[in-house]
Amino acid sequence: MAEWIIVYGIIPFAKVAVIVLVLSGAVAYMTLLERKVIAHIQVRLGPMRVGWHGLLQPIADGLKFILKEDIVPARSDKLLFTLAPAISLIPAFVVFAVIPFGPPGMMEGLLRWVLAPFMDTAAVESIATQSAASGGFVTDINIALLFVLSISSVGILGVILGGWASNSKYPLLGALRSSAQMISYEVALGFSVIGVLLVTQSLSLVQIVENQREAEVWYIFYQPLAFVLFFICGMAETNRLPFDLPEAETELVGGFHTEYSGFRFSLFFIAEYAAMVTVCAVAVTLFLGGWLRPFPNVEWLSFLDLIPPLLWFVIKVFLLLYVFIWIRGTLPRYRFDQLMSYGWKVFLPLALANVIVTAGVVLVFM
């Protein structure tokens, strides 16, 4: 077999398969985690019946969704109605193609072990040392960050189309809200990222983490404001409380997915949680040093290297997700006009100011 088929075909495909499976599982257990954490915030127990402390609850839920009757409203736009959940779901997963879970060369040992029985040593060596094959990521493209931003905006289309195709008033209101909200927060989100770009001078996510390793400091210390803005806008992008207006169940009875049921609904649901994971993963990569251990410059903390890079990444993402859930258990919901005015009048100017100050500092000192 030709080497390039293995490096650019089989290995990435295997990685994609693993990511899709793991991510689906992670999303399913995100829902359980959220229910449990919120339950404990609210002095209850949460799911307790299915499995030990409700551990099998996500599986039961998934089964329930699949077995439910698939209802399509009579006067809806059938094609768009069917398409919308997929449009929402696919971008949420595609983004993970460029997110680095671990450093280049993370899989070298694994590849050697797997390939050794099939090939001679020289071939194994040449494959295992190629970063495309052995990196802790599917692919490292030089415009990865732009790719993330553009692909994740496509998910909004699913929400808009879903609300529109339902041919019902509440979903339509929800879809209008979400399109307005997501577009306005996208702008501030984009600007908050530019600060990091100015510092690191690269759009490749792998390179950004590598630069943080070389600089021996996480970018959150260079760009604290940008991190806060990115996190808040990310919350708005993923429709989480206090910005969950498109769904606002006490106002719009579910918003854009009011008319969806069964499996189609679950696709929207998974997309929402996957988007949360995406935002957290990007935030970790840009600001929290990706797979790096805390304080990479402090020598006596080197015992932390015992935890593998991949696990550090997962721990950081998990912590950010926990903050998402924590906020949901604490805050009320904004009103639509307030949300818009925050987006345009507070977050966008702050992000712009951050860009200008950062640019000035970079120009003078670097």
Partner 1 sequence: MNRQTILDTKELEINMGPQHPSTHGVLRVRLKLDGERVVDAESIIGYLHRGVEKIAENRNYIKCTPYFDRTDYIAAVSNVYGYVLGVEKMLGIEVPERARRIRIMMTEFNRIASHLLWLATHAIDIGAMTVFLYCFREREEILKLFEAIFGARLTTHAFRLGGLWLDMPPGFEAACRKFIDEFPARVDEYEQLLTRNRIWLERTKGVGVISAEEAIDWGLSGPPLRGSGVDHDVRRLRPYGGYEQFQFDVPMGKHGDTYDRYLIRLEEMRQSRRIIAQILDDLPDGKIRGRAPKIPKPPVGEYYSAIESPRGELGYYIVSDGSPQPFRLRIRPPTFISLQALRRLVRGHLVADVVAIIGTLDIVLGEIDR
Binding mask 165-194 for partner 1 (x = CB under 8 A): ----xx--x--xx-----------------
**Which of 250, 303, 306, 363 touches partner 1 by CB under 8 A?**
250
Query: By CB under 8 A, is residue 20 in contact with partner 1?
Result: no
Q: What is the rounded distance in angstroms from the CA atom of residue 360 to the CA atom of residue 354?
A: 10
Query: By CB under 8 A, is residue 336 in contact with partner 1?
Result: yes
Reading phi first (left if > 0) and then psi (alpha if -120 to 50, else beta), residue 193 is in alpha
Binding mask 297-326 for partner 1 (x = CB under 8 A): ------------------------------
Query: By CB under 8 A, is residue 248 in contact with partner 1?
Result: yes
Report the nearest approach of partner 1 to the CB of residue 44 (Å): 6
**Which of 331, 346, 353, 356 touches partner 1 by CB under 8 A?**
331
**Which of 55, 249, 359, 360 touches partner 1 by CB under 8 A?**
249
**Which of 335, 353, 356, 360 touches partner 1 by CB under 8 A?**
335
Report the nearest approach of partner 1 to the CB of residue 332 (Å): 4
Q: What is the rounded distance in angstroms from the CA atom of residue 273 to the CA atom of residue 279?
A: 10
103 versus 343: smaller Cβ distance to partner 1: 343
Query: By CB under 8 A, is residue 159 in contact with partner 1?
Result: no
Q: What is the rounded distance in angstroms from the CA atom of residue 260 to the CA atom of residue 155?
A: 17
Query: By CB under 8 A, is residue 345 in contact with partner 1?
Result: no
Q: Which residues bind partner 1 (CB under 8 A)?
A: 38, 41-44, 169-170, 173, 176-177, 241-242, 244-245, 248-253, 328-338
